[in-house]
Amino acid sequence: MALVTLGCARNEVDSEELAGRLAADGYRLVDDAEGADAVLVNTCGFIESAKKDSVDAILAATDSGARVVAVGCMAERYGAELAGALPEATVLGFDDYTAIGDRLDDVLEDRPLVPHSPRDRRTLLPISPVARTAAVAAPEAPAIPGHGWVQRRRLASGPTAALKLASGCDRRCAFCAIPAFRGSFVSRPPAEVLTEARWLAGQGVTELVLVSENSTSYGKDLGDLRSLERLLPELAAVEGIVRVRVAYLQPAELRPGLLEVIAGTAGVAPYYDLSFQHSSPGLLRRMRRFGGTDDFLALVGRARALAPEAGFRTNVILGFPGETEDDVAELERFLTEARLDAVGVFGYSDEEGTEAVGLPGKLDQPEIDARVRRITDLVEELTAQRAEDRVGTRVEVLLTEDLSAEEGSGVWAGHAAHQDPDADGTTTLTGVPAEARPGQLVVADVVGTEGVDLVAAALAPVPAGR
């Protein structure tokens, strides 16, 4: 069978869990859908464009002649509705994950399966965060992808890997439907996270990217809001791991202690993936969020005071209902003063089941598109300038690919501490020693840029166990 993954790093982890379960049940995984008996498509249901990509992937899989099974966020969110619209595919929900081998047997043997009826997964566990810990262990608890760790099967061979901290979200942002189909926030026990980290290290991973819907909430359902602060040094100390980075931080929940641990712990990247979404205080309140330009600039300033070369990335939404020209100008002020390394720019679209669908002040699509282009142009200029600011600085680059055959002796691709492996640009290194290997950290001086990408001259490998 073949497995196709769409969407975020959290979905990638879920796919590797499914791959591990299927391999344990005797299924042989292949890279190409052509010739496979079945294709499992792990869908994304985050925004309209992601849903379209998921549907396109399902339809493309049907062209292979294989049986097609849709899982993931879009399948969970729409269930029977998706099955009715795409009769070519069997649609499974999260509760099928623990028995995915049996479900695939059913599909291949033409045993009928009834698509699930979607439900608000926030209602399936106790409201009290601490009470969820016991509830998740109960036999009748809903399945939560990525929890109750089973040995993953890696679907990529590189030296970086995502490691899931938690699933779900307790926030109620007006534009976001994720909590309804991913459920309430549930942390994985620290011992489980560490066990998986050691397993990943044994698979050749040297950089861990910690992912969840909201990593700053980690531990609140375990009764310890400092859980992540305690866990990060332990993860960084795992044998074979040279760098740990945290993704998906919520600005309103970023406590001083966590800020300091990320900035000052050896082996933890001074990197802040902050979910700002906008910076106009009034518009943020309409989004059911907190903060504003001045608060966010102060937060960035505190982090830079602790780690002057820290990396920052965020996403912003343009065209939310009621957004004015003054709101856009406020966002421009924030982006210009914050000097972030990477910014994702998205146009607002209605997501059924969210509060924003019923808000007044909807903008026409051409106006949303124009604002997206305007901020995208600004961001491209600002992030390129931020990269130029790093010329003359010293960075630690994790090597990912030897480019010597194409570019000449000693040339490698990699990413510095301020660059997420998948989203924030790359660093091209020259003068890398011949004995270098993927996953190794190399000290380098930045000598040039190409947009947000850096060009650097290697100096020496970072000593092991530093």
CA distance 15 to 7: 11
Q: Which residues are annotated as a binding site?
A: 8, 44, 73, 169, 173, 176
CATH number belonging to the domain at 393-458, selected among 3.20.20.140, 3.10.20.340, 3.40.50.12660, 2.40.50.140: 2.40.50.140
Superfamily of domain 129-389: tm_1862 like domain (3.80.30.20)
CA distance 163 to 115: 30
The mean predicted confidence, pLDDT, of the chain is: 94
Which residue stretches of the chain have pLDDT < 50?
none
Contacts of residue 205, defined as CB under 8 A and 6 or more positions apart, other chains included, come to 159, 160, 161, 240, 241, 439
Contact 123, 88 (CB under 8 A): no
CATH of domain 2-117: 3.40.50.12160
Contact 206, 241 (CB under 8 A): yes
Note the pLDDT of residue 431: 94
pLDDT digits (tens, 9 = 90+) for 6-63: 989 999 999 999 999 999 999 999 988 888 999 999 999 877 888 889 999 999 998 8
Note the pLDDT of residue 65: 87
Q: Where in the sequence of the chain do the CATH 3.80.30.20 domains occur?
A: 129-389
What pTM was estimated for this model as a whole? 0.95
Q: Where in the sequence of the chain do the CATH 3.40.50.12160 domains occur?
A: 2-117
Note the pLDDT of residue 195: 96
pLDDT digits (tens, 9 = 90+) for 49-105: 888 899 999 999 988 889 999 999 999 999 999 999 999 999 999 999 999 999 999
Note the pLDDT of residue 32: 85
Q: Which residues are annotated as a binding site for [4Fe-4S] cluster?
A: 8, 44, 73, 169, 173, 176
